[in-house]
Chains A and B, each alone.
Chain A
Amino acid sequence: MTHAAAERGARPGARLTDARALDPALVAIPADPDGDAALLQRLAKWAGRWSPLVEVDGDGLRLDVSGVAHLFGGEEGLVRDIRQRFARLGLTARVAIAATAAAAWALARFPSPQRGEGDSAKLSGVRENKADRIGRTPSPYPLPAGERELVSALSVLHVSALRLDPDTVRTLERLGLKTIGALMDMPRLALARRFRGAEDVVDALDRMLGRKPEPLTAAPVDLPPRALLKLEEPATHPEAPGQALERLIPELVRQLQERRLGARRLALVGYRVDGSVGVASVATAIPSREPKHLLRLLADKAAALNPEFGFDAFALTAEWTEDLSAAQDSLVEEPSGERDIARLVDRLSVKLGPQRVRRPQAKESHLPEQASGWVSALHLPSPSGEGRRGGVRPNGLNARERASEAASSRFIRHPPPSPSLEREGMRPQRLLDRPEAIDVIYATPEGMPRRFVWRRAVHDIARAEGPERIAPEWWRQPSSARLRDYYRVEDGEGRRYWIYREGLVGDGRGEAPGWFMHGMFG
């Protein structure tokens, strides 16, 4: 509902026909709760420019601005800044800063008679000094001077500003307790006895006056290292993100150094003037805080950020960090070249996508296509060495233990696994992603294949070895899965293939067994 509509007599909750009767020129737009919620979510991200702790709270936003306001010229400056920026988006914001979340909520939504502002509620700011409040003896209302004003501002508000459910509000009204002030004058014990249950009036009152903490949910305990750059003028030129990055990285690296951390994932967030954000993020294989490397990783992605109407602030955050002791960023290169490899993996993964740059990780499976699993090289910095060759790897470790095993082996050189001779040449170097059906001529259905047709070319089998029988994994596959008999075959020109017959004649799991081409030997 707009100001203009309100002036002409429209009221929330009124029927459309009643409103039209008052003024036929009224334009009705259907409500879009989903769209509103999505907008609110987007605005919550954007509001990260004022404070790192933002929460969507019903139909408004809640910001914890403790220790933030001085960056914007005091609390008045902060409120002005928030108002102005929302006004530029074409939104009217109702902003309130108070010592407690509940008080700010009430002040933003319930205009007191003397202030008398009537606009659509959207935002409430919160200044919380939680440490101050917890553990104090509850004498009647021991408030410092600034908060006496708060109490006087709150006491004129209607009781519904306590965020109680309508039934409780109605009961309170019937008892003649219309304002919060009237409620505050009541003896606590009487109130507590009268209103027992989930919607406790005393609780709500305590929250509002800060005698009971009401923390923002999902507030990260340990804030990630973050560097912020605010611009005087919105930057619309495409080089802006890159230039901002060059100024932000030294600051971030300084913070990482102080906390002895290395970045595993970085995000550059550009705040646009129109209230949207552009994000460029990269991940690294080993923790790093080397400015050159980080700049090189992010530069391409940052350059791809579209300024649209212009950026007016940038924030570079190390979203995921790991411990990195001071010794490791010395100038001396590790002899194993581990770090070179990690940097190579970083660059490849950034450009091509982490799902395209992978390392093998053996899995517990007899099926060849499942035994050779692949994991993103970012997640598995180096293989843990032993027992990786061919077939099953007896491994009772769970995923986390395996990861820590991989991590601990990062700086220990394992000797390369020695290929055991009896397995030599038993597995092909290449495997088709999907086995291809072939036509096979054989002497007997259970016997050796003689000749096969693959991709419309005939291959005469000169020599063959097999079968190597691989039974279906009954604990994982459906009961209709058939066993496979693998043969290593060599055709007349010496090309060696790995083919298999799926099923047996009369195994009761389908029709005549089919033959498939699965791999090639080198």
Chain B
Amino acid sequence: MMRDECPSRRDFIQKCLAMGALTLAPGVSVADALAWAQAKRNAAMSPTPWNELGPFYKRKAPNVAALRAPGDKGLPLSVSGRVFDVRGQVLEGATIEVWQADDDGLYDLDGYRFRAALVADRAGRYGFESIMPGHYPARVCQHIHYLVQAPGCKSLTTQLYFATDPAFEGDPARNFSKDPLVQSVELVRPVTMTKRADMSVAAVTFEIVLGRL
């Protein structure tokens, strides 16, 4: 686990004081300012909402970012994000396990198709190339399952949903609960269509915030 590549809050406050950008009122110490900054940062990040694991999680998925194989049906999908803790520290080395249905809404139970166990890099970044999951018949929404773990943090099971899902009828804020398992609209992420080489790719950013133990 490492801090983000930016000056420490103490350095930053000292610099602001030195340059006159910050003036402390009488009776307010640098420590007070630091505590304020810390509290502000803590308040800024709340843990990513929980969502249930689902029955199809499988251990020992491969560490591969390319879940999409040549010839796979479905809209190509690129998912990326960073992993933080609630204090805003990036979590290098966090493990991000993802699994999803294929374009037909089927999970691979016998192998590891559309399953991966990724590791966050120095900046907490992760990413994978897949396809937009099909609709599993017993669920309302398209989704990708996540299990995220990092030392010193609470493990998180959650699911990523897509604002373009027809189930939301164009208004996820109003319609997210049509799937009773979607308990927070925060998990419904906007989709950006991009052009790569000769194909259209849906791109989604999904930042993860883990609670501290």
On whether the two chains bind one another, the answer is no
B-side residues, CB < 8 A to A, are: none
